[in-house]
Amino acid sequence: MVTAFVLCVTDAGKERDVVQKMKAMPNVEEAYVVYGEYDVIAKIRVDELKKLDTFITESVRTISSVQMTSTMIAI
């Protein structure tokens, strides 16, 4: 099992919309609006690393209000 934290920069005012969309995704365990350099943080769990790549590129980055992501894989 792979656990990762995805940090997102969103369009201004769209933070809560992004959190709601992410919470509806099957691999997202938690998602929150945060203050600072990033706007949203989400905890992701997948079976294997390749699925993490697919999930981020095909699900998270396709949310229209997400401008940028940074992924941290927990060890």
pLDDT tens digits, one per residue of 23-35: 999 999 999 999 9
- 74, 5 contact by CB (below 8 A): yes
Q: What is the pTM of this model?
A: 0.92
Tell me the pLDDT band of 58, cut-offs 50, 70 and 90.
Answer: very high
CA dihedral 56, 65, 69, 49 (to 10 degrees): -10
- When the pLDDT of each residue in the chain is averaged and rounded to a whole number, the result is 97
What is the per-residue pLDDT for 13? 97
Domain coordinates of the chain in residue numbers? Answer: 2-73
Task: Please tell me the predicted confidence (pLDDT) of residue 59.
Answer: 96
> What pLDDT score does 11 carry?
98
2-73: CATH, from 3.40.50.2300, 3.30.450.40, 3.30.70.920, 2.40.50.140: 3.30.70.920
